[in-house]
Amino acid sequence: MRRKRVVVLGATGSIGESALKVAHDIPERMEIVGLAANSNAKKLAAQANAVRPKAVCLVDESKIAELRGALEYEPRIFLGEQGLIDIACLDEAEMVLVAVVGTGGLRPALAAIEAGKDLAVASKEILVMAGEIVMREAGGKGVQILPVDSEHNAIFQCLDSQRERLTPNAQRPTPNAEVRRLILTASGGPFRNTPNEQFESITVEQALKHPTWNMGPKITIDSATLFNKGLEMIEAHWLFGVEMKRVEVVIHPQSIVHSMVEFTDGSVLAQLSHSDMCFPIQYAVTWPERVPNSLPPLDFGKVRQLEFATPRYEDFPALNLARRAGDEGGTLPAVLNASNEIAVAAFLAGEISFPQIWRTVEEVMNRHGSVAKPTLDAILRADQWARQGAANALQTH
Ligand code: NDP
Ligand code: MG
């Protein structure tokens, strides 16, 4: 048992904070050697002062004075987009936790793989956009891609039951002929039972109130539209190498069952815990081992009920849009992801209605001529094209 040395990209966000908690909770197994954020110099400095990593990185170079002023020691400081790539390749690091919201984590993630680091991936965007490339490069380098998104981490844990039998050398577990379906659970978000006639009048404040998870604003809105689950379907497809048609979604309002794997004999394995991202982060860091922590155990007397329901596909078109993007593949998932990001930002700014989020995504997807087997450049071009397309679509409405 050794301490894993981890760089956290997106340290000041919701996942980043949870990662710091995990490191504090299991100090004998996790050491933070680098922390990176976008522009929140004050918070990054406070985190660094507490944890004392060897290096920190701020993408927004204009905040350097603020960062230096608030640091109480002298870590190596990386700056800008190149800085994020450089800290992801830090010599001291064995693992990089990618928890950057949006697409900014893609190049650093690929650089970390190239440098031989294992990746713990929270940023689903990078797998949605470039899952094929990320998995291929990781396979080529022999590095592990460990899922942190709670659903994928759950599936990873369920598949782990097969690992020892099928791959004795603690290889990363992957589905085999014995797996029939991957079943992603979704809380259903705050509008699970809201009649669709009321969708037009949904406010930002209502959409930001997630019933079970406490997360950053972008993913919270995605949970309300179900785009989050749509992105996760594509994420699962790439992470586990399973066709889209074998990735399904079930609504589970309690968010206690984090996802399930159905095997060919009809048996289903599930992973359960409280809805706290510290669980999947810890598993990614200590895998293939499990270690004790101070997280609260599940009290089944208090849980009492676990409910499941079929999603309202007609009322929440995000799921079918994502299935279409995942089935078609190529650059279409990147287009879905980018146009959704623009539409969510416009919704958060009070510029568009809630249903306009998926109408915008569909409109941009319909106009896209997808490129099959895209290179990284083709993916990034499609991403830019979709951002512009979504902005134009929003202006003309
Ligand atoms: P937050 O909005 O809370 O935090 C985002 C983090 O990313 C911040 O540290 C922010 O820095 C940083 N950041 C933003 N843009 C850039 C950039 N261009 N370059 C470098 N850093 C950047 O997001 P979450 O923590 O909620 O989510 C992070 C990722 O994890 C997302 O991809 C999300 O989908 C995924 N995820 C999150 C879950 C959750 O429970 N929150 C669950 C499963 C997945 P700054 O503070 O300086 O702006
Ligand atoms: Mg999730």
Q: What is the 3-state secondary structure (H, E, C) of the chain?
A: CCCEEEEEECCCCHHHHHHHHHHHHCCCCEEEEEEEECCCHHHHHHHHHHHCCCEEEECCHHHHHHHHHHCCCCCEEEEHHHHHHHHHCCCCCCEEEECCCCCCCHHHHHHHHHCCCEEEECCHHHHHHHHHHHHHHHHHHCCCEEECCHHHHHHHHHHHHHHHHHCCCCCCCCCCCCEEEEEEEECCCCCCCCCHHHHHHCCHHHHCCCCCCCCCHHHHHHHHHCHHHHHHHHHHHHHHCCCHHHEEEEECCCCCEEEEEEECCCCEEEEECCCCCHHHHHHHHHCCCCCCCCCCCCCHHHHCCCCCECCCCCCCCHHHHHHHHHHHCCCHHHHHHHHHHHHHHHHHCCCCCCHHHHHHHHHHHHHCCCCCCCCHHHHHHHHHHHHHHHHHHHHHC
52 and 106 in one domain? yes
Co-location of 52 and 187 in the same domain: no
- Determine the pLDDT at residue 213: 85
In a domain, 171, yes or no: yes
Phi-psi region of 73 (alpha: psi -120 to 50; beta: other; left: phi over 0): beta
Query: Do residues 180 and 107 both lie within one domain?
Result: no
- Residue 385: inside a domain, yes or no? yes
Residue 232 has pLDDT above 90, yes or no: yes
Q: Which of 116, 143, 170 is the last residue of a domain?
A: 143
Encode pLDDT of 176-222 as tens digits: 788 999 999 999 999 999 999 999 999 999 999 988 888 899 999 99
Ligand 1 atom at minimum distance from 41 CA: 47
For 330-371, how does the pLDDT look when each residue is reduced to its tens digit (9 = 90+)? 999 999 999 999 999 999 999 999 999 999 999 999 999 988
Q: For the segment 87-144, what is each residue's pLDDT rounded down to a tens digit?
A: 999 999 999 999 999 999 999 999 999 999 999 999 999 999 999 999 999 999 999 9
Q: Check which CATH number belongs to the domain holding 44 and give it.
A: 3.40.50.720
Report if residue 151 sits inside a domain. Answer: no
Domain edge (last residue) among 92, 120, 143: 143
Whether residues 343 and 314 share a domain: the answer is no
Task: Write down which residue in 101, 117, 143 finishes a domain.
Answer: 143
Q: How many domains does the chain have?
A: 3
Q: Is the CB of 39 under 6 A from ligand 1?
A: yes
CA dihedral 168, 235, 225, 364 (to 10 degrees): -170
Could you tell me if 350 and 372 lie in one domain? yes
The CATH number linked to 390 is 1.10.1740.10
Q: Tell me how crowded residue 331 is: count the other CB atoms within 10 A of its CB.
A: 26
Q: Are residues 16 and 83 in the same domain?
A: yes
Q: Whose CA is nearest to atom 43 of ligand 1?
A: 149
Regarding whether 315 and 348 lie in a shared domain, the answer is no
Provide the domain limits for residue 361.
Answer: 329-397
Atom of ligand 1 nearest to the CA of 218: 2
Specify the residue with its C-alpha closest to ligand 1, atom 26: 216
In a domain, 291, yes or no: no
71 CA distance to ligand 2 centroid (A)? 33
Residue 150: inside a domain, yes or no? no
Claim to verify: residue 248 and residue 214 sit in the same structural domain? yes
Which atom in ligand 1 lies closest to the alpha carbon of residue 43?
A: 46
pTM for the structure as a whole = 0.96
Count the neighbouring beta carbons within 10 Å of the beta carbon of residue 89. Answer: 18
Residue 1: the pLDDT is: 65
359 and 303 within one domain: no
Ligand that comes closest to the CA of residue 218: 1
In this structure, the answer to whether residues 228 and 312 fall within a common structural domain is yes
Instruction: Kindly state whether residue 281 falls inside one of the protein's structural domains.
Output: no
Residues 266 and 362 in one domain: no
Ligand 1 and 80: CB distance under 6 A = no
Residues 311 and 166 in one domain: yes
